Amino acid sequence: MLHIVFFEPRIPGNTGSAIRLAAATGATLHLVEPLGFDLSEPKLRRAGLDYHDLAHVVVHPTLEAALAAFPASRVLAFTTQATTLFSDVTYRPDDALLFGPEPTGLPDDVLAHPRITERVRIPMLTGRRSLNLTNAASIATYEAWRQLGFPGTD
């Protein structure tokens, strides 16, 4: 299934919401350290509600370690700097959707990584900086899941 990758996430509530997203869609959530919080933090637990046991979450010490977990997958980097729209991508079941931390997004060295297959963006009105991290991940994950036929649902 899909891989959602949060590079150095900083806000526990967003990661808690991403845990719910992973549980609801069957995606694997990959968190790349350093994290801006402790995984036992109450805000993370509260945002994730009772979905923690239903989600597959993997913490990686580095981006290289995360990428090694899905060596054959395409890695789609979400950035406001891209020209390709997320809705123009034909998604595959093992794609990795890579998102950077709030408020900075993915750093240039990550965007230049040789494993990045494509840079994609979610359109917004002119003059807006970015979407909430988990809102962006949700938009992208549901578009990919929709294209794949919502596997695992009734």
Whether the per-residue pLDDT at 42 is higher than 80: the answer is no
Average pLDDT over residues 12-35: 93
- Classified as helix, coil or strand, 61 is coil
Query: Tell me: the pLDDT tens digits for 94-124?
Result: 999 999 998 899 999 999 999 999 999 999 9
Distance CA 78, CA 53 (A): 27
Task: For residue 105, give the amino acid letter.
Answer: G
pLDDT at 53: 77
d(CA 96, CA 71): 10
Mean pLDDT value across residues 122-148: 95
Q: Which domains does the chain have, with CATH numbers?
A: 3-147 (3.40.1280.10)
Tokens of 7: 């590079």
Alpha carbons 35 and 145: distance in angstroms, whole number: 27
The distance from CA 8 to its chain's CA centroid, rounded to whole angstroms, is 11
Q: How distant is the alpha carbon of residue 112 from its chain centre?
A: 18
Instruction: Work out the number of other CB atoms within 10 angstroms of the CB of residue 117.
Output: 15
Residues 6+ apart with CB under 8 A from 16: 43, 44, 45, 46, 47, 48, 49
pTM metric for this prediction: 0.93
Count of residues in the chain: 154
